[in-house]
Each structure stands twice: as structure tokens, then as C-alpha cells.
Amino acid sequence: MSKINRRGLRITAAAVAAGAITVAGSALAATAQAAPLAQAATSYRITTLDNAQDVTFNQLLGINNQGTIAGYFGSGAAGHPNKGYLLFPNYGQGNYANENFPGSVQTQVTGLNDNGVTVGFWSSMNTASMANNNFGFWERNGKFHNANFPTGTPASPPVDQLLGVNDSGTAVGFYTDASGNNHGYKVNIDTGKFSSVTDPGSPSASLTAAAINNGGDIAGFYTNAAGNTDGFLKAGGKFTDLAVPGAAATMALGVNDHDEVVGTYTVGTGSSAAMHGFTWTPGGGFHTFDDPQGMGTTTINGVNDAGDLVGFYVDSTGNTDGMLATPLK
């Protein structure tokens, strides 16, 4: 249910596809070009985490400082709707808790904070085309609330997604307009006040706000002046472009309170395209990350202050698997 269909790289909005905001899929070729970055400077313990309700398709999208993970199962194809969940430590099958917007056909839980708030989006549809409506939501203490940017020119069907939230209750996301352009925004969930998130150098550029930390720094991705998709970090009023050297596209998807940014980048195009996860820090730059079982199909969606990473990869059988990577001390 998202603006990017993981069966192929599509940066423009599609009303409901198979996941939140990143790209991976079995269509990626095993012979794709090598990643242009150094391997991760940190060593990790990597664990595959799949909800037994559908072991063929899981994506982990956010992790808080208690280690609770937000995600969903189900590809979004007709008859296989997205179904949201939280996963609590110690990450056994008994630690999954379903979370779905009341009355929805599909739900993704995309982000969470340390104060019991989750965010995501839902749909009343599950069509074969995956061109379904999307509506943003936030949830606290079992109570769900819609949160959609008040635009007079929405896409048809409408597309609005909340993707991240900090401990102050500021959530970020995007909506798609009638021309197919994405517009980032933030919203105070307690007051309902919305404001736009833009590139100061090109305020009209298509932009997705994907994550926010407790300092109010925002990570996401946008279309730059050359028409390429780059990631960004907007911190302290400074807009930093994040583009992996040699990559065809870069998308920043998560940020922690140390301004460590995570996401995915594409090397090559078409049938030779490969997806690699990355981490970036202001002092250390980019490092690539691939799950050993999903080389060239790895996405990192979230990071907490301990440096724990969550995301997903596509395995040798074509299944999409949730992934947790914890730094080795």
C-alpha cells in the first residue's frame, strides 16, 4: 500500500502497492552491479523476523528505543492485503500484536515513538491493480485517529501516509497531488496543526518526509534539480542532500537522535538494478549494508539510538523477509 511498488522502481506515487516507501523485489537481477560503497563500519548480529501469519511477505519499518518494532505482513496483491503489527522483544511468535485501523481492508504500521504512539496508513481497498486509496493515521492507547493533509488537489484515489513520529508527538509523512507529485509535511498529533516540509532551494519539488527524531530533524527523499531522486536530512534549518556516489537513486528512510540516517540506494537500472541498504552519519559518511541472504535486495527502513536497524530483503525463493540488525558491542 504505498507510493512505491516493490516489484519495480517507481518513484512517482502509486496509490497502494506492496509496502511503505522503499523498494525491493524478486524482479531484481542477481547479476546487478556491485555496490560502490565501503561495507558497514559496524559489525551486526542479523536476524530474520517473519510473522507466521504470512512468512512469504514481511517488512519491518521502524524500531524504538525499547526495541519494539513496527511492520506488516501481506504483499498487498489482491487477496493478500497488508496487515499491520507490532513486534515486542524477545521477538518470538507470541510477541506479535496485530494493529489495524478499524474497518480497514489494509493497514501498515510504519513508525512508532517511545511513548506508545504508532503511525501508519490504511486503505478501504485491495484491488488487483494495487491502485488503492491511502489515509494516514496515528494511534495511542488503542484509539485510532485519521491524519490527512488538508489539500484541495488530492490524487485520485487519494494517497496520504504518515511514516514517522517523535516523542513530542510530531509526525511526518506525505500526500500526493492530482499531478502525481509528493508533498512532505509534519503534523502535531495533539493539536492537529499541519505544516509543509520542503527543499528550501526548490520548494515545489516532489518530496517525501519519512522520519523525524526528537530534535525535530527530518529525513526523507526528494527530486533534485537534475530530476534525480536523492535523500536528505533537514536539521537545524540546514538541508543536506544525501546521494550515494555512483547510485541511480538514494532514499533516506530513517533517522535517530544522533542524526544517523538509514535508507536504500539503487545501483544500475532496469533488469540490472540492485538495492542496497545504507547508513550515513555526519562525521562518517555512507556505508553500505546488505543482509547476507538478500544481497542486492536489502532495504533499511528504521534505526534507533542504539544503532539497531530494521528493514527487509528478498531471499533466494522470492519471499520478502523482515530483518533486524543489532550492533555487536
Instruction: Select from 9, 26, 17, 16 the least CA-distant residue to 312.
Output: 26
- Note whether residue 15 is domain-resident: no
- Note whether residue 251 is domain-resident: yes
- Note whether residue 78 is domain-resident: yes
**Range in 45-49, 118-122, 201-205, 278-282 the model is least confident about:** 201-205
Give the list of residues 6+ apart from residue 328 with CB closer than 8 angstroms, or none.
42, 43, 44, 45
pLDDT tens string 55-106: 999 999 999 999 999 999 999 999 999 999 999 999 999 999 999 999 999 9
Lay out the sheet containing 238-242: strands in order across.
207-212, 218-223, 229-235, 238-242
DSSP string, 90-101: T--GGGEEE---
Q: State the residue range of the domain holding 246.
A: 44-327
Domain count, the chain: 1
Burial annotation 3-25 (CB, 10 A radius, 16+ → b, else e) = bbbbbebebebbbbbbbbbbbbb
Residue whose C-alpha cell is 528512510: 253
- Note whether residue 190 is domain-resident: yes
Distance between CA atoms of 68 and 66, rounded to whole angstroms?
Answer: 6
- Note whether residue 316 is domain-resident: yes
- The whole-model pTM stands at 0.90
Return the CATH number at 203: 2.120.10.30
What is the sign, positive or negative, of the torsion defined by CA atoms of 4, 59, 307, 186?
Answer: positive
Query: pLDDT band for position 42 (50/70/90)?
Result: confident
* pLDDT score, position 36: 56
Phi, psi of 93 (to 5 degrees): -60, -25
Phi, psi of 284 (to 5 degrees): -110, -10
Tell me the pLDDT of the chain averaged across its residues: 89
- Note whether residue 30 is domain-resident: no
- Note whether residue 206 is domain-resident: yes
The mean pLDDT value for 149-156 works out to: 96
Q: Is the confidence at residue 14, as pLDDT, over 60?
A: no
- Note whether residue 167 is domain-resident: yes
